[in-house]
Amino acid sequence: MHPILISIGGFKVASYGVLVASGYMLGILWLKSQIRWMPDMNEDRFWTLVYAVFFGAIAGGKILYVLVSWDQFASDPWTIVTDFRYGFVFFGGLIGALLMGLWAKWKLRIRFLETSDFFGIALPLGHAVGRLGCLMAGCCYGRPTDVPWAVRLGGPGSSTPPEMWGVPVHPTQLYESVADLAIALFLMRFALPRAKKKQLVPGTVFFAYVLLYSIERFFNEFYRGDDRGWSYHGLWVSEWVALAAIAIAGGALLVRGIRSDVRAVA
């Protein structure tokens, strides 16, 4: 792991920030390549939507992190603002991005569900890269294990607590990164082309992404060893949110159906 990517004198660039920013950039560039397929979309609307979703993701991820980890901030709430580099919860970011997407639907008068299908690819693509930042920083680490692919984290500048330095743990960051990439490629290959041809009900790709990611996240949480805020009946908050997301996304796919009655000429 390399928490600090570049260090010149007192100037340091964190690997986490670079990789998370790279993930956002990858997602945006992919969306930009698909703009001609997005209904009611032009250059100005595209960038307004992207900025809105980006802001919602950052704000939502930080807010949920603060809520589930309030004990860390109770004594000095100013650290919420002064140290904005770390401490984000993905599900909070997803909720924030969805809320800002709904605002953009009203403001820009775009077809929300049709457009969301493209974000169902961009989100796991970007997240796959961003999770590598977690690995480099030593956060979101796994439970101790003796599996051959275990990793050892820690060292100056890392987010891994000293008592875990050098302990073989599950590379939960890599588990999630690989799963995100697999979800993105699967939906890109088998679902999005059909959505473009209007063979799928609008929103199917996005709800499929939420369902698949939430299933992966629920099980991956059992291998996590870091502090994830409060728990209830033996499940962490992220696991409860994942179960809720599975119910919502799965319910949406069942109630709305998948195949569309509309057929477009290829």
Mean pLDDT of 136-163: 93
Q: Count the neighbouring beta carbons within 10 Å of the beta carbon of residue 146.
A: 6
The separation between the first and the last C-alpha atoms of the chain, rounded to the nearest angstrom, is 47
> pLDDT by residue (tens digit) across 171-205?
999 999 999 999 999 999 999 999 999 999 999 99
Note the pLDDT tens digit of each residue in 89-102: 888 899 999 999 99
Between strands 231-232 and 235-236, the pairing is antiparallel
For residues 147-163, average pLDDT = 92
Q: Which residue has tokens 């100037």?
A: 11
What is the reported pLDDT for 265?
Answer: 37
pLDDT digits (tens, 9 = 90+) for 32-45: 999 999 998 999 99
Q: Which of 194, 212, 201 is nearest to 250 (CA)?
A: 212
> What count of residues does the chain have?
266
pLDDT band per the 50, 70, 90 thresholds, residue 264: very low
- Residue that wins the pLDDT comparison between 203 and 73: 203
Nearest by Cα to 187 from 116, 133, 247: 116
Q: What is the mean pLDDT of the chain?
A: 89
90-118: burial string, b at 16+ Cβ within 10 Å, e else: bbbbbbbbbebbeebbeebebebbbbbbb
Q: Where are the domains of the chain?
A: 4-256
Q: How many angstroms separate the CA atoms of 221 and 173, rounded? A: 11
Q: How far is Cα 49 from Cα 52, in angstroms, rounded to an integer?
A: 5
Give residue 124's pLDDT band: very low, low, confident or very high (50, 70, 90): very high
Better-predicted residue by pLDDT, 234 or 29: 29
